[in-house]
């Protein structure tokens, strides 16, 4: 017989988490879900735009709204308008936040990313570099800024990197995005190997068609009108729901952050309506 012990404690009670790209969308969902489970939070977001962006950028007001909503749930929170491409600023924000919240760090959600569309030969140098620098180098910066504190705290922990279906299969008109999202899988699996001796787990989540501002990209709408064959790569198995909500991804992140997944590391977890099997 298996004995089940109910502790009555929230799943992340007493833990501290860093979440990047936290102003809105998936980042806000992660923040609210983790706060509801007792985690104190360090929230980071660039709150700026980039060349070729087909959807509105996050704002500092949205980051403040997320922080206020988290605080209303009864946990501690600090927030910083920082670009993950800027390692020194990110490291300073993490260091200040950790110091303010008790000198520990248990969970990292590397969620900050941007999406852009364009055929390979039409992507500009700036668009390519901005996507790679944000989505891949920015994740490396996040891990580099957070891992030493996690090791020093000697509490183990969980790192969750938000990749994409485009990190498992290619998507047309997203060479730079797909390259960056495939890249973070390799980065995360290497981190899982290196951090296992410290009891720090590292996993990736691969969403598809999430109801956020990124999903309403006007550049994508125009591209699909001009290149209808691209739709052949956009299939999924589940039709209900037609798209995921941010809380669906946050639920998966919570599982990976909690002790319920204590035996799971180096995994690429699709939360994708079956998009990677068609």
Catalytic residues: 177
Rounded Cα distance, 195 and 14, in Å: 22
Q: Which residues contact 19 (CB under 8 A, 6 or more apart)?
A: 27, 30, 31, 34, 41, 42, 43, 44, 108, 109, 111
Strand, helix or coil at 46?
coil
* Residues 107/17, Cβ–Cβ less than 8 Å: yes
Query: What does the chain come to in residues?
Result: 278
CA dist 243 → 107, 123, 227, 239 (Å): 27, 27, 22, 8
Is 45 within 8 Å of 109 (Cβ atoms)?
no
Burial of 73: CB neighbours in 10 Å, binned 0-12, 13-18, 19+: middle
Say whether 65 sits in a helix, a strand or coil: helix
DSSP-based three-state secondary structure for 138? helix
Total Cβ atoms within 10 A of residue 78 = 17
What is the Cα 262 distance to its own chain's centre? 19
CB atoms within 10 A of CB 132: 17
């Amino acid at each position: 017989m298996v004995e089940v012990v109910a502790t009555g404690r929230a799943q992340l009670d007493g833990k501290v988490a860093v979440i990047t790209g936290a102003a809105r969308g998936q980042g806000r969902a992660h923040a609210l879900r983790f706060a509801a489970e007792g985690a104190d939070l360090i929230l980071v977001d660039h709150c700026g735009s980039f060349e070729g962006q087909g959807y509105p950028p996050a704002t500092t007001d949205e980051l403040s709204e997320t922080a206020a909503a988290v605080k209303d749930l009864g946990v501690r929170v600090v927030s910083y308008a920082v670009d993950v491409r800027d390692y020194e600023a990110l490291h300073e924000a993490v260091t200040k936040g950790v110091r303010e919240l008790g000198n520990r760090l248990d969970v990292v959600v590397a969620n900050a990313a941007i999406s852009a569309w364009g055929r390979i030969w039409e992507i500009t140098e700036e668009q390519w570099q901005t996507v790679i620098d944000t989505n891949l180098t920015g994740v490396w910066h996040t891990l580099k800024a957070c891992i030493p504190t996690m090791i020093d705290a000697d509490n183990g922990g969980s790192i969750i990197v938000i990749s994409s279906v485009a990190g498992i299969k290619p998507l047309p008109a997203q060479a730079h995005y797909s390259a960056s999202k495939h890249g973070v899988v390799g980065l995360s699996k290497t981190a899982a190997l290196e951090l296992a001796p410290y009891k720090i787990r590292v996993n990736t989540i691969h969403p598809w068609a999430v109801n956020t501002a990124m999903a309403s990209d006007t550049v994508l709408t125009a591209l699909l009108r001009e290149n209808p064959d691209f739709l052949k790569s956009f299939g999924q198995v589940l039709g209900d729901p037609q798209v995921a909500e941010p809380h669906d991804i946050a639920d998966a992140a919570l599982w990976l952050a909690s002790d319920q997944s204590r035996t799971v590391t180096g995994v690429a977890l699709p939360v994708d309506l079956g998009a990677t099997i068609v």
